Structure 1
Amino acid sequence: MTDAVLELRGVSKTFGPFKAVTDMSLSVLKGEIHALIGPNGAGKSTLLNMVAGGLPPSAGEILFAGRSIVGLPPHQIVHAGIARSFQITSIFPKLSVIENVRIALMARQGRCRSLFAPAAGVMQDDALALLEQVHMERDLDRPAGELAAGDRKRLEFAMALAGAPELMLLDEPTAGMSPEERSLVTAIIRKINATRGVTVLFTEHDIDMVFSTAHRITVMHQGSKLTEGEPAAVRANPRVRELYLGEAAHA
């Protein structure tokens, strides 16, 4: 892991007088799982939105695979190799699990005009292979709207993988889940990283999940980077313990 797949250089975002992100620099290395943590309002989701193209930075540069992606619309950023997963899953609830994945595969191939045409058998093998990656092959015919929170998230991961991304952006991937669901989703993230080589940048409030999963951690505070490093170094940082970890720092 020597090459940066994503680089932020002096990135800032303001909303009128409010400074959401200030002079943020960040390197996410190819093949790593990188966590972005901090208190509510630290600027984490704003930063992910800028990388994904949902918000333009007010200043600074964002490079993906060495090329600037500032100003590109979200769909072009997706096609460049960045997938985004939101806190609230974005699936088609009335369609089956495998139909959702087929749609994602068809969209990746530019077959948007036929997305809602009868698609029985279309890309069946590819869709099934993706569902196997997230351990959902037994649920392929279930309506997506009937899935529990953890299962919806796993389906969304399969849909994101349909785009063959090099980088996945995950915003609170285990939010609102039971301990069992969190454990399963965390295992899927590790598997996607290990078996497919997908780089992961994620935000998360579950400190135990962060420190057991991330290769490196960046801590944000009031829109700026407080510190960055491997989990043990971040946990031992006095300012992180004072401002953010609190009781968790001693766990």
Structure 2
Amino acid sequence: MKILIVEDEPQMLNNMKQTLELEHYTVETADDFDQAASKISNYEYDCILLDINLPDGNGLELLNNLKDMGKTEGVIIVSARNSLDDRIEGLNKGADDYLAKPFHMAELHARVKAVLRRRNFEGNKTIKLGDVEVEPESRSVSVNGQPIALNRKEYDILSYLITNRARLVTKAALAEHVWGDHIDQADSFDFIYSQIKNLRKKLENSSIAIDAVYGIGYKLDVNA
């Protein structure tokens, strides 16, 4: 799962990033309005943690931009401004939740999990596709009740394909979503091919197949 943190206070930004990375999220950051606007426009995220008070703009305007573009990312407003009017305005503009500073990182994690569960997995704690069962909170996968061991990237790829199982996922979108900012360091998609190959092997006796569409990307196929 991929998260964008929009926060201008360096220590807070670093604490949030470290906390979420410990939970195996792919985390990107933006510390001002323009950088956040560029990332929101060019990339997709599962959840955006959005500060209202930015040095060069208002976070609520970014929320407006997000909705105007027809994007469906989950949004949690994270701000020291805790007035009722701010909270109502943010929720009316389409935010999923509002977390007032200061807060415990455990609460942040719980709020993020809840938004991701509602947005990506229809509120379910367990996803079943044929004989495959996935538990996002524990990042565990089983086939016919038998657990299979996936490394972090294999799980992230499977999770992204499940979330987007109704559509074809391009190689570029998959790479950017799973590897985040680090994708800029890659000069080919060989690292995706390797992870997909291993994931297919581990799922070869399941009802899930990862179909390749030559030159484009991948699509998840679930046999009844």
Same fold (TM over 0.5): no
Q: What's the TM-score, normalizing by structure 2?
A: 0.31
TM-score by length of 1: 0.28
